[in-house]
Amino acid sequence: MNLLHAIVLGLLQGLTEFLPVSSSGHLVIAQHFLPGFDQPGVLFDVLLHAGTMAAVLVYFRYDCRNLALAYFRPHKEARHYRRLLRLLILASIPTAIIGLTFKDFFVGVFHNLTMVSMMLLVTGGLLYFSERYRHKVTQDKKMRSMDALIAGVAQAGAIMPGISRSGSTISALLFQGVSGETAARFSFLMALPAVLGATLISLLEWPAGTVTDISVYVIGTAMAFLSGLASIHMLMGIVRRRRLYAFALYCWFMGGVFFAISL
């Protein structure tokens, strides 16, 4: 892997981690077609995810600070964040159980271009029908425990390459009648424990001493962080304006093209 590969993969990771188009699916496709690409190993993937996790921490720093201090402050706003923290913990349970149980299966299909293409088509369907259903919801509701659990299951399913994490979780919450802005915010915040857990597991499996060029890793991580910030800002505006249809069409196009190529 060279510097150009690191820049391309870092940009893709940051943009597609938060835009509802599947970061893992795009990384599989990019790695499949990048000339002279050699798999860099677990550490590079870990650092890319760390870059996107840092983007969430920076963009939602107010929420993250209040969540961290929720049980140390008595005022009314702290009660809201205590409830939000309980919902985030609840959402993380199915993600952890399903992710750890089926980890080997998900890893096994990561380089299967046909499967990834089919899952992109599924992501497009989720986005299209959740946006269409959303117009039938006349009043936003307060998030419940069941909504958090359903979002957690959706996030676990997004371990499958081609299924968008943000797309599946936001769609799941939209189907439950949660407002688009609330769904997007919850989706980004619930990514933090999921990404942190996956990062720690990957680090435990990383064979030390396999880094050849540290500058390539640093550049890739920086690109993931910067493009991640941009994509979070972009998606918050898109969800607010009810424009998920465009991403559905994009996923169907990409899935269809690369499905045909894979055959």
d(CA 79, CA 35): 53
Full residue range of the structural domain in which residue 149 is found: 3-262
Per-residue confidence at 197, pLDDT binned at 50, 70, 90? confident
Q: Of the spans 4-8, 33-37, 181-185, which averages the highest pLDDT?
A: 181-185
Pick from 3-7, 72-76, 129-133, 147-151 the range whose average pLDDT is largest: 147-151
- Residue 206: per-residue pLDDT: 58
pTM strictly above 0.75: yes
Q: What dihedral angle (degrees, nearest 10) is formed by the CA atoms of 59, 252, 97, 146?
A: 70
User: CA-CA distances (angstroms) from residue 164 to 56, 126, 153?
Assistant: 17, 10, 13
The number of folded domains in the chain is 1
Is 90 exceeded by the pLDDT of residue 149?
yes
> CA 45 to CA 30: how far, in whole Å?
14
> Residue 145's pLDDT is what?
92
37 class by beta-carbon count within 10 Å (0-12 exposed, 13-18 middle, 19+ buried):
middle
